[in-house]
Chains A and B, each alone.
Chain A
Amino acid sequence: MELGLDVEEQDGTTVLAVRGEVDVYTAPRLREKLVELVSQGKYKIVVNLEGVDFLDSTGLGVLVGGLKRLRSHDGDLTLVCTQPRILKVFEITGLTKVFAIHDTVEAAVAG
């Protein structure tokens, strides 16, 4: 199972585009990538979930951990997601109140 992780810079913000399925097998790679970005001093990160087909609680945990890590550096981690099946996981767990979730990368970068 492949997990795509593509990084690009946009107006001083790091955009991490995730593709594929985020579960107990692949989530450690997402965690490693976020840790790597923070260690490079990237403290404003947008995680684009538009290419994600599946996300479970392991993936949510990694995103919560990433947000915590960035906040400790006065940074932020925001999300891009419009897919109902992925948004539902955030809604059920109440994490829509924890993460800023945008419709587009442009809105997230401007946010």
Chain B
Amino acid sequence: MSIEPVIELEIPARAEYVGLVRLVVSSLASGRRALAEERIDDLKLAVSEACTNAIEAHHDVDADERVLVRCAEADDRLVVSIRDKGPGFDPDSLPEHPPVTDPDRLNFERGLGIPLIRTLVDEVSFDSSSAGTSVRLVMFCEPVSFDDEIDLTLDDLAEPDLG
């Protein structure tokens, strides 16, 4: 199944632009009736986390570099990719937090973004090197059939009886 690119959005690597990306992605996802509101919220949060990481990755490199957000859709899925030019990281060797019942848990204010992303979207992949990181988020949609779309009887379509 081919996936059509829909939108490419290039933002400065600055915190104030994450809200704009959320707005664009949630507007696009809202256009797909097959993606429930709760799942749009999940995607919005995952995109926000990935953009936050991308912007923070640029702190250590050139602040003029930009973050590229690319949204694409097919009948059965919505794909959002977020690409930065930061120094890269290994998504499989992130430090683990102590259990929430451990008082030391309060010493960890960061590091929740990637576990959240993994939980919220249907598929996620990270492609990271010293030249940058690309995060690909996938949400599957229920295809909308014509049967689902229109459920009217002839009575619904008849002229109202004005008596």
**A46-B112 Cα distance, complex, nearest whole Å:** 23
Given contact pairs A24-B52, A98-B100, A98-B106, A93 touches B18 in the complex (Cβ within 8 A): no
**A61-B11 Cα distance, complex, nearest whole Å:** 24
A40-66 near B? 1/0 per residue, CB < 8 Å? 000000000000001011101110110
User: Contact: A97 with B116, CB < 8 Å?
Assistant: no
User: How far, in Å, is A22 (CB) from chain B's closest CB?
Assistant: 10
Interface of B is mostly: helix
User: Contact: A97 with B100, CB < 8 Å?
Assistant: yes
User: Contact: A58 with B41, CB < 8 Å?
Assistant: no
- B49 proximal to A (CB < 8 A): yes
Give the contact-size bracket for chain A.
20 to 34
User: Contact: B116 with A92, CB < 8 Å?
Assistant: yes
User: Contact: A1 with B112, CB < 8 Å?
Assistant: no
User: Contact: B15 with A25, CB < 8 Å?
Assistant: yes
User: How far, in Å, is A94 (CB) from chain B's closest CB?
Assistant: 4
A residues in contact with B120, CB < 8 Å: 92
Residues of A within 8 A of B (CB): 1, 21, 23-25, 54, 56-58, 60-62, 64-65, 67-68, 71, 84-85, 88-89, 92-95, 97-98
